[in-house]
Amino acid sequence: MLNLVSYRVNTASHRTKPRTIMNKKVLKSVLLFIATFIVSVVMADETEARLDSMLNVTNDAFSIDVSNINNVGSVISDDGKLRIISWNNRLENGSFEYYSYFIFKKNGKSKATVRKFVSKNALKPKNSGKYFANNWYGCLYYKAFATKSGYILLGYQTYQDISRVKLIEPLEIKGNDFILGNDIFRANGKKQSRAVFEYSANAVMSIEYDKSGKRFVFDHLSPENPNLKGVFSYYGPDFTYDSFTLKKKLWVLTEDIDIKNK
């Protein structure tokens, strides 16, 4: 009887050992995930704190040098009055953070107006509606064109790993407020606040401004297979082109344009 009991105890101990080893592997993976997550958050926070400090101590926010800060980009509008400083951060849980400083200087003598936009969990922007600092979708802006009513921005966004987003975004500046979105686009007979394009992470999409033609020219996106219509992670350029052309204060969609006349 004693030997039997001893055998059972040893067998139980032997059977639980692999489970203990597996738990250690899982724990190691979890700890690595947490450590990487913390590092990415800390780096983003340090970048934000550094830029906040630089903007607070200078009398000329428009001219601060960000060239020595990793992963931070800057764009100046074609009229030289608007500057946007942007960067993003991919978290280990697959979500993305975005940060942008909008800096507007009406003329050389005026003090620049600065507004910070932060999105801790980027979302694909909707075609309709306006966005402010407190509900921003998150984006990197890489071009800015002056218009009579404000600016039009070109932006690039990743909100998930399997697709990319580009957009044509109107910006209005009213006092200290920076407002994204305006119903100045018309597509398929309907007005919309911006143009949003989502496509495969493996594809490359182009949007260019044709100043002489007063239009934005861009790749037409189609699914790899007709059965995948609406699944934008399978969309890409199909070697045809569309445009939004300015007509009586509205940017009107024209499909399948002749690129030779661009």
How many CB atoms within 10 Å of residue 246? 15
In a domain, 151, yes or no: yes
Question: Three-state secondary structure along 174-189?
Answer: ECCEEEECCCCEEECC
In a domain, 125, yes or no: yes
Q: Report the C-alpha dihedral over residues 230, 234, 238, 242, rounded to 10 degrees.
A: 50
Structural domain span for residue 185: 61-261
The CA distances from residue 117 to 70, 104, 165, 179, 252, in Å, are 19, 14, 18, 11, 29
In a domain, 91, yes or no: yes
Calculate Rg over the CA atoms of the chain.
Answer: 25
147/164 Cα distance (integer angstroms): 27
DSSP letter assigned to residue 259: G
In a domain, 47, yes or no: no
Q: How many domains does the chain have?
A: 1
In a domain, 121, yes or no: yes
pLDDT of res. 38: 39
Query: Under a CB-based contact definition with an 8 Å cutoff, are residues 77 and 66 in contact?
Result: no
Read off the pTM. Answer: 0.81
What token pair was written down for 13?
A: 């101990």
The pairing of beta strand 150-160 with beta strand 250-254: unpaired
pLDDT of res. 60: 78
Rounded to 5 degrees, what are φ and ψ at 48?
Answer: -60, -45
In a domain, 109, yes or no: yes
In a domain, 193, yes or no: yes
pLDDT of res. 50: 82
In a domain, 53, yes or no: no
pLDDT of res. 94: 87
pLDDT of res. 58: 67
Question: Tens digit of pLDDT per residue, the chain (262 long)?
Answer: 334 333 333 444 444 444 444 455 544 444 334 444 334 444 566 878 888 887 875 667 888 889 888 889 999 999 999 999 999 998 888 899 999 999 999 887 788 999 999 999 999 999 999 999 999 999 999 999 999 999 999 999 999 999 999 999 999 999 899 999 999 999 999 999 999 999 999 999 999 999 999 999 999 999 999 999 999 999 999 999 999 999 999 999 999 999 875 5
Instruction: Work out the angle at residue 127's Cα, subtended by the Cα atoms of residues 100 and 114, and round it to the nearest 5 degrees.
Output: 20
